[in-house]
Chain A
Amino acid sequence: MNPVLLLGRRNLASSRLRVGLTGLAVMAGVAFVVASFVLSDGLRATFNQIVEDVSADIDATVRATGDFAEVTFQAQTIDEGVLDIVSAVDSVEEALPALTSSKIVPIDGNGEAIETLGPPILAANQQDSPTSAVMLEEGELPDGPGEFAIDFTSAGTYGFEISQSYDIVGVEGREPFTLVGTTRFGEDNALAGAVLMTFTLDEVQRLDGNDGKINSIDVTAESGVSPDELIADLEAALPAGLEAVGSDVIVDEGQEDFGATVDIFGNVLLAFALVSVFVSTFIIANTFNILLGQRIRQLALIRALGASRRQVLLAALLEAFIVGVIASVIGLAVGVGLAYGLRAIMNSFGFNLPGLELVISARTIMTALAVGIGVSLASALTPSRRAARVPPVAAMREGYRYGSGEGTRRTIIAIILAVPGVTGIAVSLFGSIDSTPLLLLLLGGGAVLVFISVTMFAPLFSTPSARFLGAPLERLPWLGITGHMARENSSSDNKRTARTAAGLMIGLALIAMATVVASSLKDSYRSTLGSTLTADFLISPPNGGTGFSTELVDAVAALPELDPVSSTRLGNIRVNGNEHDVRATDLALLTNLWDLEVISGDPATNAGPDVVSIHESVANDLNLAVGDELDIEFAATGTKTFTVNAIYENAFLISNYLIDKSAWDQNFSLNEDISIVASVAEGVEIEAAASALDELNAAFPQLNFETGAEYSDRLEGQLDSLVIVINVFLGLAILIAFLGIANTMALSVLERTREIGLMRAVGMTRRQTRAMIRWEAAVVSLFGALLGVVVGLVFGWVAVQAIAIDQFAIPVSSLVLYVLVATLAGLIAASFPARRASRLNVLDAIHQL
């Protein structure tokens, strides 16, 4: 047998535990990558199936043509009368109207408007047909006024009981309804956290404020008529502006929509997975280094016996290769399990993901193998080359240590890596790169290079840092000499300290960056809102997107405690062929409630149906000044000419185009507000105004009635939740980092067996031994965590500059907490090696060679 192969195999066999620990880190990284693939592939397959199921019994759908809707994110409506035209077509067997609204909110048994974590609350008309996707689960389907049904998952989640009365809030306010039954959407009720209520068509139209309107008509053909014939017949009968499409089109569109969402979700997961892989690379490199270092004498011996450098190198790489293969295969299996675990975790957060279809694609398997083997080989390369350089004479000499005298070279490489790394980050953030993949590649690649560079620089200061950080251990009376030993051990090998801390450094850097960016955003948001919102109260829907009745603003304005009062509406316009958001409000009142930082003109000038106020960026792009004319195209009414009456600088929470409500009324068919701003009338206490609003809040419980500060608090709360989710996902990478620390400590216990045996012989107790190992790990963890926070602060600062946040906030208490938790976790991670060290047989340990 080839001696290189033999050696590689024997080495693996003789150090199963060590190799197992190494493989564990690779395995964890592979598993996370696999999980992100399996989860997104599985979700895509499931959603595709759902979309197909829903359209399975429908042959064609009739709907409005065109993609220019007057309001973004809302399906276009058509007249209910079209139903008669469609029904009259000979080849049509059944024509069912469909209308979905997101403005209808149920009030639960506790009198609270229900709120989801983000998925929509939908109300649809209950189609009375076996082809309907919404089927009866229990009770009855709604078939009259005052009746509704809700999907059984939401009924359970929010505690709705059949035949009980619940208030439903529509655009006109709140009124009592009876829950007549629960429903099931498709086979699995796979609503992914959305709430689905059904009513009769009349009730949905009334509650939605859309009398006589529907979104689309689902059509089935007479038997013997092909879908193509049906579509042709329908197209012939339909007036302009309407189209008939086959169910295949609907399925494709639906699958594309879901697919895009799943892709984003999958890519985010994959990004976190790659962070884990990156961290595990550092850990494996470190482990290989130590493993080979412990084998110097063996390496030297086989060199002395005639093995070439190449053979030594190959033997070491072969070992890494085998570890990679085994770890990939196990990682593949664990990853599949992890995918289901992640789904369970996300469902416990309320995401309600549907059952996963198990899809293990060739891509998943190839990626798992590539990542596992690639990471193992790449991280073993440097240590293996170093091993190959061990001179034969080291076999006879005690205390040969390789890798010394490389400090200068390492520093030069670190600098060489840092330059493209920093450049990549700078170009991606401050340059004008349009391609998202390229941008992410530059950003990710830059960050990877910077992390590697920092790790290579770290040995320059790891020893003094660890000595400094470990200094308090000397003062702890209950530790005494043990603390001293922990400090010395943690700082004695600068490279090992740096490498061991590297994984934690990366994890903490990312967490610190996320925290810094989030708190900078929060501070900036709060201060901008404070200076922009001069009104006292803000009334808005929880998720920002769903409108409400324009009657509310009138009711608020009627209160003597509040003055002035205005509302805003959000619509869609085209300028020079490009779609833009437009806000409609009372231009005459606006500057009393909202500080736009007007540069020239005045929004109140000629406030009426033919003026527009624009943000300075629009003025610059289109070269407009106050008094100039601007053509605006509306979905409902076509192109109209407006006069610019003001240019403003501050578009915070406001669109780049502002028109008066009178202009809206002339050009939009939809009539709903998206927010209300109100100031306290002169001489009125703010508390009095707030209690006056309370009554209206009871009638519109789905809306948030808030002061500016309360509004900021709520948005900050949402941002905090996002940071928690990010930290949870980064947590896996950090878990791997701690695995690395435990691993390094285990290896260094092994390395120091004789030393530990000696100390045990001269009187170190088991407890003292454990404390020594644990505190050493704590010092290394503290070093890694602090270094990570420093790098994270720099990254965070750069990110804050790049997204042009005007404040840079350092959340000191959070960062301190992270560092403390990381140190403590390091202490705990070392428990296993510490226990092992304390249980060493003293005699065997002393006599180990």
Chain B
Amino acid sequence: MAGFAGITTEQDSGPQAAGTMAATATRLTKLYGEGNTQVVALDAVDIGFEAGKLTAIMGPSGSGKSTLLHCVAGLDSVTDGEVRVGDTLISDLSDQELTLLRRDRMGFIFQAFNLVPNLTAEENILLPLLLGGREPDPEWQKRVIDSLGLDERLHHRPDELSGGQQQRVAVARALMSRPAIIYADEPTGNLDTNSGQEVLGFLRRAVDDWGQTVVMVTHDPGAASHADLVVFLRDGQLVGRLEKPTPDLVLDRIRALEA
């Protein structure tokens, strides 16, 4: 990883930001379909996600933002290019190796259907650890659950929880294994404003207080403004970045991109 850091875009291919990279993608290309119907979802994207930061990925529908997240998370295969998580080159791992990597070193928060219906909140939180046959660290577990305000809800099933509570359980699950990186795919997409703000607040605190690395896909400028850095995609290419974003700045940038 030496010699490579930070985010490269067409507009800004200058010197890189400092800090270690939790995950990087090099010349990442993703094609869907064949022949006439072929779609370029990602076009030789180079990007790195700095450890201990909250990075937001934005872009219009079909820009490839979710595909980028999935490829970097090892959920989707890549057509060309390399993806590394930490030191591990994940683009040629087997399904088994990828699964273990996701289980042990990644956390996931999806837009909807985040929890297994037949498991209680607590079991959902511990699911990745239990799948790996690992004992949770009780102290850490308590801290995570307390900070998310879930201690009264631990024995409820997902269908007994509100949308916001469900999403907080998902955040707790992602944090439980202290993963190298947490991927959040539109984590506030299905929530009302208050619950959304709460969840974003938790993610922000996880980064600030515990040094977590979070990569979040969102289309909501308000959500993106919680990030340390916002990167913009369009037509499968990185087209901009914005440090220390505010909702207005994000909105301006989006308008500029859409113009």
Contacts and interface: CB of A to CB of B under 8 A. Distances in A.
B96 A761 contact: no
Contact of B99 (A481, A492, A764, A846): A764
B119 A485 contact: yes
B96 A843 contact: no
Contacts of B103: 762-765
A763 to B, nearest CB: 2
A760 interface: yes
Interface in B115-157: 115-119, 123, 126-128, 130-133
A399 B159 contact: yes
A765 B95 CA distance: 8
B118 A488 contact: yes
Contacts of B126: 481
- Size bin of chain B's contact surface: 20 to 34
Minimum-distance CB pairs A-B, first 4:
A763-B103, A481-B130, A488-B118, A763-B128
Contacts, number: 72
Contacts of B116: 485, 755, 758-759
Contact of B108 (A489, A762, A768): A762
Contacts of B96: 765-766
A758 B169 CA distance: 14
Interface string A267-284: 000000000000000000
A755 B99 contact: no
Contacts of B119: 484-485, 488
Nearest to B114: A758
B75 A843 contact: yes
Contacts of A485: 116, 118-119
B241 interface: no
A197 to B, nearest CB: 68
Interface in A748-802: 754-755, 758-766, 768
B110 interface: yes
A768 B127 CA distance: 12
Contact of A842 (B75, B113, B133, B173): B75
8 contacts: A481-B127, A488-B119, A755-B116, A759-B131, A762-B102, A762-B103, A764-B99, A766-B95
Interface in A555-612: none
A765 B133 CA distance: 12
Contacts of B118: 485, 488-489, 492
B131 A481 contact: yes
B28 to A, nearest CB: 16
A480 interface: yes
A484 B133 CA distance: 12
Contact of B102 (A480, A482, A761, A768): A761
A762 B123 contact: no
B-side interface mostly: helix
Interface of B: 70, 75-76, 95-96, 99-100, 102-104, 108, 110, 113-119, 123, 126-128, 130-133, 159, 173
A483 to B, nearest CB: 10
A76 to B, nearest CB: 75
A765 B131 CA distance: 8
User: Which of the listed residues B119, B130, B131 has the most CB atoms from chain A within 10 Å of its own CB?
Assistant: B131
Interface residues of A, number: 24
Contacts of A766: 95-96, 99
Contacts of B102: 761-763
Contacts of B131: 480-482, 759, 762-765, 768
A484 B119 CA distance: 9
Contacts of A765: 96, 99-100, 103, 131
Nearest to B116: A755
B127 A759 contact: yes
A762 B127 contact: yes
B100 A761 contact: no
B104 A763 contact: yes
Nearest to B103: A763
Contacts of A760: 99
Interface string A813-849: 0000000000000000000000000000011001000
Nearest to B159: A399
A754 B113 CA distance: 8
A219 to B, nearest CB: 83
B70 A843 contact: yes
A522 to B, nearest CB: 46
Contacts of B117: 492, 755
A543 to B, nearest CB: 59
Contacts of A843: 70, 75-76
Contacts of B100: 763, 765
Given A492-B117, A492-B118, 14 more contacts: A399-B159, A480-B130, A481-B127, A484-B119, A484-B130, A485-B119, A754-B113, A758-B114, A758-B115, A760-B99, A762-B103, A762-B108, A763-B103, A763-B104
A482 B118 CA distance: 12
A678 B74 CA distance: 85
Interface in A462-481: 480-481
Contacts of A488: 118-119
Interface in A488-544: 488-489, 492
User: Which of the listed residues B70, B113, B132, B159 has the most CB atoms from chain A within 10 Å of its own CB?
Assistant: B113
A498 to B, nearest CB: 17
Contacts of A482: 131
Nearest to A842: B75
B163 to A, nearest CB: 11
A754 B110 CA distance: 12
A763 B174 CA distance: 11
Given A489-B118, A755-B117, A763 B75 contact: no
Contacts of A492: 117-118
A480 B99 CA distance: 17
Contact of B110 (A480, A758, A759, A768): A758
B95 A480 contact: no
A790 B145 CA distance: 46
B124 to A, nearest CB: 9
A755 B113 CA distance: 8
